[in-house]
Amino acid sequence: MPTDPPAFLTTQNKHKIAYHKIPGSQPGVVFLGGFMSDMTGTKAVALESWCQLHGIAYTRFDYSGHGSSSGSFQEGTIGDWLQDAIAVLDQVTQGPQILIGSSMGGWLALLLTLRRPQRVAGVLTIACATDFTERLLRPALSTQQLKELEHDGVTDLPTKYQETPYRIGKALLDEGKEHLLLHTPIDIHCPVVMLHGTADIDVPAEFSQMTLEQITSSKYAQLLRIEGGDHRLSSPEHLKGITDALETLIDKVI
């Protein structure tokens, strides 16, 4: 894994966003990570290596409250992390970009495309968690957790991915309602490829299917179901599937 220190940019919200960028040809690639993930994850780094090998510009970054960026995770919202992604696209990259969004990053990639359609040449999602705050997170909260959110403004979410729970704030759920996509057509015109494991127990593959059905404006939009694939899709076999899908997408947009 690369050990060079990250560069930083400052957003309008005064967040210091950490990022790594390698130069190369366009369209470039921007990786948007998942909920409580950072840019040192297996997929983010493997995709950087693939892009470097093929001479393609590549950018990965940490949302505020994640990884090496400033800010508090429990105070973060979908809107905050979307603004971070917009800042990276606007200030760090040049020319057309392909967005790769993993889990929550898939939702953010779609939202970013809607806000910067002229800059986004294509979208590749991995286990896309569209509208997860309302369709997955809120229904999973216990009565006690909902009471804690109302009374204390925060609650803890046990997770299998680390020993300590995630602490989320009430604003994550409340503000998330402003960015829901699945209730209306998603007006994206660039090529879209969605990957989703059939054995994903964190975000069921139906989420990508529902999302695909709302992307009616794109002339090329498809869902590839990865048989037996889990949520992370980080094995060598699955990483090869992701880079193969990226290569196909690049061929569609150049």
Catalytic residue numbers read 103, 200, 231
Residue-level length of the chain: 254
User: Exposure of 45 by Cβ count < 10 A (0-12 exposed, 13-18 middle, 19+ buried)?
Assistant: middle
Q: If residue 109 lies in a helix (H) or strand (E), which one and from where to where?
A: helix 104-115
- Distance (Å, rounded) from C-alpha 176 to C-alpha 231? 22
Cα 56 to Cα 25, 50, 211, 222, distances in angstroms = 5, 8, 28, 23
Q: How far apart are CA 33 and CA 22, in angstroms?
A: 17
Q: Which amino acid is at 200?
A: D
Any alpha helices (H) in 153-235, and if so which ranges? 170-176, 206-214
What are the structure tokens assigned to 61, written together? 């970054």
Burial 165-200 (b: 16+ CB within 10 A, else e): eeebbbbbbebbeebebeeeebebebbbbbbbbeeb
Of 157, 149, 156, 155, nearest in space to 174 by CA? 149
Distance in angstroms (rounded) separating the CA atoms of residues 175 and 80: 10
